[in-house]
Amino acid sequence: MSMIGQVYVKNNQYKIKGDFHHLEPGLPIRLADEGWRLIGITNPRTLTHMHSYGGEAPFFEALSQGKLLATRCDNPQCVHHGSVYQPFRIHCPDCLVKNTVIDMTDIAKKTSRIHTFMVCERSGAFSLLDTPIKFINVEFDGVCTILMSYLAVGDPAIGMRVRPIFKKQDPTFTILDLAFVPDGTKEDRLPHGFQF
C-alpha cells in the first residue's frame, strides 16, 4: 500500500510524508523484424514533484477564493510607473523593483474582452481540459498585458465581452481554477465547482 506524497513547510523546512518515488517493473522491447530479439526495456516511473510557487503563491490562493490578483509597479523612479501586470509579475520588467499586489477582480468582471483566440482540437500529454479547448487571450481596461485563459462556455469571438469564473469548490490551486464565460452567461451553466 502506498500513500500519495504530502508536503507542508514548518520552520523553513519541507516536511514530507508518503511516497514520492514509485518504481514498477518494466517490460522488454523486442524487434519484430528480427525474430523478436531483445533491444531494450520500458522503465515505468511515478514521481511526485514539489513545485514551489514562490512569490506567485498569493495569486493561486486568491483564485480559490474567487479573486483575481494582479501586480503594479509603484516605483516613482520607473519610466513605466503605475503599469498593472496580469499575468501576475513579481518584479517590474522595466525597473526590476518588487511590484505591489493588487486585487483586480472588479476590473476583470467589468472590462474583460477577448483580444484573440485559438481553438485546439487536440492537446498535449497531461492536459486536463476537454477538447476542443477554446484558448482566449483576455484584455482588461488599465492593464498593459494580456492574459491567456480558456472559454468554458460557448464559442469565442474577437472583441467579445467575457467574465471570469473561479473554481471555489474543490480548487486545484493551479491556473485551471480560473476560466472565462461570455458576459451574460447564467450561473447554472457554469462548469462543476465554478462560480462568478
- Residue number, 70 or 152, with CB nearest to Zn ion: 70
- Residue number, 71 or 112, with CB nearest to Zn ion: 71
- Residue number, 95 or 175, with CB nearest to Zn ion: 95
Q: Which stretch binds Zn ion (CB under 5 A): 39-47, 60-68, 69-77, 159-167?
A: 69-77
- Residue number, 79 or 158, with CB nearest to Zn ion: 79
Closest approach of Zn ion to the CB of residue 87, in Å: 16
- Residue number, 94 or 130, with CB nearest to Zn ion: 94
CB atoms within 10 A of CB 8: 9
User: What residues from 70 to 89 belong to the interface with Zn ion (CB under 5 A)?
Assistant: 73, 75, 78
Give the sign of the dihedral formed by CA 33, CA 38, CA 40, CA 42: positive
Helix/strand/coil for 53 = coil
Question: Residue 13 and residue 67: Cα distance in Å, rounded?
Answer: 29
Q: Which of 29, 39, 47, 94 binds Zn ion (CB under 5 A)?
A: 94
Contact between 95 and Zn ion (CB under 5 A)? yes
Closest approach of Zn ion to the CB of residue 82, in Å: 9
Grid cell at residue 129? 481540459
User: What is the DSSP code string of 72-112?
Assistant: E---TT-TTTT-EESS--SB-TTT-PBPEEEE-HHHHHHH-
In total, the chain counts a number of residues equal to 196
Q: Which of 68, 69, 92, 152 binds Zn ion (CB under 5 A)?
A: 92
Question: Residue 35 and residue 162: Cα distance in Å, rounded?
Answer: 60
- Residue number, 98 or 109, with CB nearest to Zn ion: 98
Closest approach of Zn ion to the CB of residue 88, in Å: 15
Label residues 99-136 b or e (16+ Cβ within 10 Å = b).
beebebbebbeeebbbeebeeeeeeeeeeeeeeeebbb
Closest approach of Zn ion to the CB of residue 75, in Å: 5
What is the contact surface with Zn ion in residues (CB under 5 A)? Answer: 73, 75, 78, 92, 94-95
